């Protein structure tokens, strides 16, 4: 007796060969089921595109039933199948464009999805599938129809994508918003999946709008962050090269900082093993701390912990005082971490190591929340929930943050002409710091620097060393080969 998988494979082959027409909704449902059995998405779609009978079956089948229930249970699943990245690599994306056009022209299916979306009749996976379809249509070179763009604006302006509880739906919402902004600026979208902006709520075209610390959506995103190789920066027009270089340096340095944070968060979410780290659980806010009368400090939240401070609770007051004095690494001042609720990032914070609070009968820790919006969110979460935890993240954010902020503030780059627009054998900009008389003496065969530098011991240089020394004194920048 043949298995259902074998029967579906045979049905699929008959449709592709034109020997089995798809004339009813049941036939089409069976065809979709046969397609879903194919684990190699790219190979399956390639066979469909190569078969006129299969293309006709898809074209007719998606129009047999356009009610929300069928869209949710069947058509959306087919769109999800088509969203597999391997399909887009076929013929530079042409096969995907062909099958999408078969589905949406004429606009029967498109209009049905729009109507169901506006009526809130689509399930979460169906919303994601439809948004993917909208993005694909907008990024096609031929997709310039005003009504399609208007519908995309309607989808975004509804706000339901960005307000969704699903990180995947919010990611699609940010991506669609970014594509619309690119189209409005008349920017040619060659690779819509690898341009700055649109991956999540903290991915912006202008790097100065990027928050230094990651958001919850950013931590959930699995898309590759945007950055360029050095040779790509040098290929930019000269008037855009400095801006491109600053943008790239910010993104690369920030990714370096985020790697440790991301590793810890992925471990909490069960995606990666990690070493044992300190976590504080059962948190509740008791008061606000802003320093003493003699010394005011930025505001912090004074928090009690049901779990995590056992090393203090097991000691009396004198024992705690000695322990905290001898082990300054315990709850280290300005150590970094994040407040979590389950797998959701609530905010990031640093520890304000206030000994007086730690010595109380019920030890308390002071956390300084990073960012005004984060403070509001944190307070509301403490009001609504009782299951927040604080995870210590072992990364030197204090070494990264000031540099990242400075990069966002910079509008120009010293030595940009020499560093970013240098042409081989061209003259390097001169420096006028050293007196010309001294340079002439060095250029006229002088091989010792004892008289020039008035040093106690002789300093002898060979010709190549002297040339490098003179170049260093007379040029704004220089590349030297060291042994």
Q: What is the mean pLDDT of residues 447-459?
A: 69
Contacts of 11 (CB under 8 A, 6+ apart): 20, 30, 31, 34
Q: At 431, is the pLDDT very low, low, confident or very high (cuts 50, 70, 90)?
A: low
Q: What percentage of the chain has pLDDT greater than the value 70?
A: 81
**Contact 103/130 with Cβ under 8 angstroms?**
no
Q: Is the pLDDT of residue 311 over 90?
A: no
Q: What's the CA gap between 62 and 42, in Å, rounded?
A: 20
- DSSP track, 275-320: ----EEEEEEEEEEEEE-SSSEEEEEEEEEEEES-HHHHTS-HHHH
Q: At 432, is the pLDDT very low, low, confident or very high (cuts 50, 70, 90)?
A: low
In a 3-state reduction of DSSP, which class is residue 476?
Answer: coil
Contacts of 482 (CB under 8 A, 6+ apart): none
**Comparing 70 with 179, which gets the higher pLDDT?**
70
For residue range 72-108, list pLDDT tens digits in order. 999 999 999 999 989 988 888 889 989 999 999 888 9
Q: What is the mean pLDDT of residues 28-51?
A: 93
Q: What percentage of the chain has pLDDT greater than the value 90?
A: 31
Picking from 357, 350, 280, the residue whose alpha carbon sits closest to that of residue 321 is: 357
Q: What is the mean pLDDT of residues 460-473?
A: 71
Residue 25 token pair: 């909704």
Q: What's the CA gap between 16 and 4, in Å, rounded?
A: 18
Q: What's the CA gap between 307 and 291, in Å, rounded?
A: 26
Q: Is the pLDDT of residue 330 over 50?
A: yes
Residue 129: C-alpha distances to residues 58, 78, 122, 223 (Å) = 17, 9, 10, 17
Q: At 188, is the pLDDT very low, low, confident or very high (cuts 50, 70, 90)?
A: very low
- DSSP track, 415-446: THHHHHS--TTPPPPB--SS-HHHHHHHHTT-
In a 3-state reduction of DSSP, which class is residue 230?
Answer: helix
Which of 47-61, 111-125, 287-301 is the least confident region? Answer: 287-301
pTM for the full predicted model: 0.61
Residue 403 token pair: 């540099």
Q: What's the CA gap between 4 and 10, in Å, rounded?
A: 10
Q: Is the pLDDT of residue 420 over 70?
A: no
**Comparing 409 with 186, which gets the higher pLDDT?**
409
């Amino acid at each position: 007796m043949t298995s259902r998988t074998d029967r579906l494979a045979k049905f699929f082959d008959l449709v592709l060969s034109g020997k089995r027409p798809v004339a009813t909704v049941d036939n089409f449902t069976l065809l979709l089921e046969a397609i879903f059995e194919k684990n190699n998405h790219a190979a399956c779609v390639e066979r469909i595109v190569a078969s006129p009978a299969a293309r006709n079956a898809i074209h007719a089948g998606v129009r047999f039933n356009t009610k929300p229930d069928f869209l949710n249970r069947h058509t959306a699943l087919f769109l999800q199948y088509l969203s597999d990245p391997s399909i887009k690599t076929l013929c530079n994306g042409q096969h995907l464009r062909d099958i999408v056009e078969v589905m949406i022209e004429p606009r029967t299916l498109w209009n049905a999805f729009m109507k169901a979306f506006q009526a809130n009749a689509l399930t979460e996976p169906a919303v994601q599938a439809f948004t993917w379809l909208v993005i694909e249509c907008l990024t096609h070179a031929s997709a310039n129809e005003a009504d399609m763009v208007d519908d995309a604006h309607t989808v975004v302006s509804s706000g339901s994508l960005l307000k969704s509880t699903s990180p995947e739906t919010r990611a699609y919402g940010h991506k669609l918003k970014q594509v619309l902004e690119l189209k409005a600026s008349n920017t040619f979208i060659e690779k819509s999946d690898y341009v700055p902006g649109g991956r999540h709520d903290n991915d912006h075209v202008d790097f100065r709008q990027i928050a230094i610390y990651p958001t919850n959506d950013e931590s959930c995103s699995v898309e590759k962050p945007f950055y360029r190789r050095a040779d790509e920066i040098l290929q930019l027009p000269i008037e855009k090269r400095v801006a491109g270089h600053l943008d790239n340096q910010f993104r690369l340095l920030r990714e370096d900082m985020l790697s440790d944070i991301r590793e810890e968060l992925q471990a909490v979410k069960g995606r990666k093993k990690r070493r044992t780290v300190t976590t504080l659980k059962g948190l509740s806010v008791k008061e606000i701390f802003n320093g003493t009368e003699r010394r005011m400090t930025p505001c912090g939240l004074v928090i009690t912990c049901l779990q995590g401070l056992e090393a203090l609770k097991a000691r009396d007051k004198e024992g705690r005082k000695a322990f905290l004095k001898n082990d300054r690494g315990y709850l280290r001042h300005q150590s970094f971490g994040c407040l979590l609720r389950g797998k959701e990032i609530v905010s990031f914070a640093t520890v304000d190591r206030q000994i007086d609070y730690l010595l109380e009968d019920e030890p308390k820790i002071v956390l300084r929340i990073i960012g005004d919006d984060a403070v509001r969110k944190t307070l509301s979460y403490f009001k609504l929930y009782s299951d927040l935890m604080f995870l210590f993240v072992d990364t030197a954010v204090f070494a990264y943050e000031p540099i990242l902020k400075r990069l966002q503030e910079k509008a120009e780059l010293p030595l940009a002409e020499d560093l970013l627009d240098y042409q081989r054998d061209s003259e390097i900009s001169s420096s006028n710091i050293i007196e010309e008389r001294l340079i002439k003496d060095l250029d006229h065969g002088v091989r010792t620097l004892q008289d020039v530098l008035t040093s106690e011991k002789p300093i002898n240089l060979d010709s190549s060393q002297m040339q490098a020394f003179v170049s260093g004194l007379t040029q704004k920048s220089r590349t030297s080969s060291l042994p």
